[in-house]
Amino acid sequence: MNLPDILKLSGSYWNSCTLHAGVKLDVFTKLAEAPRTAGELAQTISADERGLSMLLHALTAMELLEKEGDSFKSSSHSMAYLSKNSDTYMGHIIMHHHHLVEGWSRLDEAVTTGTSVRKSSSHKADEIERESFLMGMFNVASLSAPRVAAQINLSASCHLLDLAGGPGTYAIHFCIQNPALQATIFDFPTTQPFAEQTVNKFGLSERIKFKGGDITTDELGTGYDVVWISQLLHSESPESSCAIIKKAVTALKPGGLLLIQEFILDDNKVAPLHPALFSLNMLIGTPSGQSYSQNEITEMMLDADLDNIRRLVIDLPNGAGIIAGEKKQI
Tell me: do 147 and 241 sit in the same domain.
yes
Does residue 99 form part of some domain?
no
Of 84, 101, 116, the domain-final residue: 84
Tell me: do 154 and 218 sit in the same domain.
yes
One-letter amino acid identity for 132? S
Average pLDDT of the segment spanning 4-12:
97
pLDDT single digits (tens) 229-239: 999 999 999 99
pLDDT single digits (tens) 153-209: 999 999 999 999 999 999 999 999 999 999 999 999 999 999 999 999 999 999 999
Tell me: do 219 and 318 sit in the same domain.
yes
- Rounded to whole angstroms, the Cα distance separating 101 from 225 reads 40
Query: Which pLDDT value is given to residue 161?
Result: 98
The pTM assigned to this predicted structure is 0.93
The answer to whether 296 and 311 are in contact (CB under 8 A) is no
Query: Which pLDDT value is given to residue 44?
Result: 97
Tell me: do 147 and 275 sit in the same domain.
yes
- Rounded to whole angstroms, the Cα distance separating 212 from 206 reads 17
Phi, psi values for residue 73, rounded to 5°:
-145, 160
Tell me: do 155 and 62 sit in the same domain.
no
pLDDT single digits (tens) 80-102: 999 999 999 999 999 999 999 99
Query: Which pLDDT value is given to residue 124?
Result: 52
Inform me whether the pLDDT recorded for 127 exceeds 90. no
Inform me whether the pLDDT recorded for 122 exceeds 60. no
CATH label of the domain that carries residue 44 = 1.10.10.10
Query: Which pLDDT value is given to residue 286?
Result: 96
Q: What is the DSSP letter of 105?
A: T
Q: Determine the length of the chain.
A: 330
Does residue 215 form part of some domain?
yes
Q: Is the peptide bond before 146 cis (omega within 30 degrees of 0)?
A: no
CATH label of the domain that carries residue 313 = 3.40.50.150
Average pLDDT of the segment spanning 6-33:
98
Tell me: do 186 and 283 sit in the same domain.
yes
Average pLDDT of the segment spanning 108-127:
81
Tell me: do 80 and 175 sit in the same domain.
no
One-letter amino acid identity for 287? P
Query: Which pLDDT value is given to residue 330?
Result: 74
Query: Which pLDDT value is given to residue 165?
Result: 97
Total domain count for the chain? 2
Inform me whether the pLDDT recorded for 120 exceeds 70. no
Query: Which pLDDT value is given to residue 125?
Result: 57
Identify the domain containing residue 174 by its residue range.
Answer: 138-327
Tell me: do 144 and 72 sit in the same domain.
no
Query: Which pLDDT value is given to residue 324?
Result: 98
Averaged pLDDT score across all residues of the chain: 96
- Rounded to whole angstroms, the Cα distance separating 182 from 174 reads 9
